[in-house]
Amino acid sequence: MVRAPFYDKNGLKKGAWSREEDEMLRAYVHRYGHSNWRQLPKFAGLARCGKSCRLRWLNYLRPNLKHGNYTPEEEQIIIKLHQKFGNKWSLIAEKLPGRTDNEVKNYWHSHLKKNKEITISMPGDSLEGNLNETHQSEKSECHGEDVGNNGFPHILESSLAMSTEKSSEDNYSLTSNVALSTIDNFLAKEDSVPPLASYEEFSGDFWTEPFLVQDTYIDDICSGEDIALLVPNFDGTFLL
């Protein structure tokens, strides 16, 4: 389902990431963080461009990410927020702990876009008005002090309790009443909600503070001695 790996004219690898590359990137970020994505692949011993490393980390290797199995609640949030914000995927993803903008975007295009006509006819919504209005307020609301806030009640918890079966147009109608009331509450207090719980637990400032992980995670990535062999120093040498 991914592009076949290949090397471009500059010798940089493109396409699908191998397990080894994932482990190298994960181990490097774990050890040194990612203050400079452009330099990172060189020090990490990866034949990738920094942009590719960043994308791989953000969309796949980051801790606390969820993959697949969107709950009806999540589905409804995406629909609602898309009505409100339009294609502001990063903004929408902020409200969905463990989801990335890329994943939300993909999900929208592959699952929800076709339901748009149904969705926008739901009562209580003034789509155009909301879009214009919220895009105006968005700058201050989402790039200011309230960025990353998350008032949505227990998405992760409810996700676990819910069936893991993928949502469909059928359960869309079944769950919409309950889900929408929850989501409306969520959206109503959106301006005063706390930061993403999952990331807060992980680190006070995910991007600038040292990488903190659970023991299980460390055990996982350090289980093989090859990992230790792959961890480079900033001077270009490698730790053994």
Partner DNA sequence: AAAAATTACAACCGCACCAGT
Partner DNA sequence: TACTGGTGCGGTTGTAATTTT
Is residue 38 at the binding interface for DNA, with CB under 7 A as the rule? yes
Q: Which residues contact 10 (CB under 8 A, 6 or more apart)?
A: none
Out of 7, 20, 87, 209, name the contact with DNA by CB under 7 A: 87
**Cβ closest to DNA, residue 17 vs residue 172:** 17
Is residue 137 at the binding interface for DNA, with CB under 7 A as the rule? no
Written as six digits, the tokens of 201 are 């637990």
Out of 25, 30, 32, 52, name the contact with DNA by CB under 7 A: 52
Is residue 3 at the binding interface for DNA, with CB under 7 A as the rule? yes
Is residue 135 at the binding interface for DNA, with CB under 7 A as the rule? no
Question: Minimum Å distance from CB 94 to DNA?
Answer: 8
Neighbours of 190 (CB within 10 A): 18
Is residue 54 at the binding interface for DNA, with CB under 7 A as the rule? yes
Is residue 75 at the binding interface for DNA, with CB under 7 A as the rule? no
- Of the candidates 188, 123, 183, which has an alpha carbon nearest to the alpha carbon of residue 155? 183
**Cβ closest to DNA, residue 146 vs residue 153:** 146
Please give the full DSSP string across 12-69, using - where no structure is assigned.
Answer: -EESSPPHHHHHHHHHHHHHH--S-TTTHHHHHT-SS-HHHHHHHIIIIISTT---S-
**Stretch (H or E) spanning 6:** strand 6-7
Question: Minimum Å distance from CB 123 to DNA?
Answer: 27
Q: How many residues bind DNA (CB under 7 A)?
A: 43
Name the site residues for DNA (rule: CB under 7 A): 1-4, 8, 13-17, 34-39, 48, 50-52, 54-56, 59-60, 67-68, 87-91, 101-103, 105-107, 109-111, 143, 207
